[in-house]
Amino acid sequence: MKQENSISFTYKEFDTEEELDPSDLELLRSARTAAGNAYAPYSHFMVGAALRLESGKIITGTNVENAAFPSGICAERNAIANAASNYPGNKPVALAVAAYSEKEHSAEPVSPCGNCRQVIAEEEFRNKKNIRIILGGKNKIRIIESGGDLLPLQFNSESLRVTPR
């Protein structure tokens, strides 16, 4: 063995939303509101995501499920696809996620799934700009400074560059 490595990251945890910066709080509230528009007749897990662009604009997304299960899509990717399609060049700087099931906001903050982490990482990588992740639970809020922290040793466009022979 040449060496043993480790990767770690720090994140912040808050008990109440009043402790958040006003712009983070606004984004989290947008995500919570968006969750109400989720189409989740199969899981009943309603997710809302709110993406803040560098101009200050907020774009939201919800999960949209499908009878053919894999055709459904998560809230985070819908928000990102919406922003990328309609506001090209306006880089995302923060993403808030909130969810509720059976009319109750989930107590624990919801973490983006692996597919969404990959898509968040692509946005950060192509824009060379961190996306601050705000995960809102009922009584616990987590803030992670970069989506890339959630996907260490990630596969990205750099990985596709093959060494010339």
Q: Could you tell me the smallest distance in angstroms from the CB atom of residue 6 to ligand THU?
A: 26
Complex with ligand THU: residue 80 or 93, whichever CB lies closer? 80
Complex with ligand THU: residue 43 or 55, whichever CB lies closer? 43
From 13, 65, 76, 158, the catalytic residue = 76
Contact between 80 and 120 (Cβ < 8 Å) = yes
Q: Could you tell me the smallest distance in angstroms from the CB atom of residue 73 to ligand THU?
A: 8
Complex with ligand THU: residue 4 or 83, whichever CB lies closer? 83
Complex with ligand THU: residue 28 or 74, whichever CB lies closer? 74
Which backbone phi and psi does 119 adopt, to 5 degrees? Answer: -70, -40
For 33-58, letters b (16+ CB in 10 Å) and e give ebbeebebeeeebbbbbbbbbeeeeb
CA nearest neighbour of 30 among 47, 16, 15, 48: 48
Q: Could you tell me the smallest distance in angstroms from the CB atom of residue 165 to ligand THU?
A: 41
Contact between 96 and 24 (Cβ < 8 Å) = yes
Residue 158 annotated among the catalytic residues of the structure: no
Where on the chain is the footprint of ligand THU (CB under 6 A)?
A: 40, 43, 45, 47, 63, 65, 72, 74-76, 97, 110, 112-113, 116
- Which three-class secondary structure state does DSSP give residue 25? helix
Contact between 130 and 124 (Cβ < 8 Å) = yes
Q: Could you tell me the smallest distance in angstroms from the CB atom of residue 42 to ligand THU?
A: 7
Residues acting as catalytic residues = 76
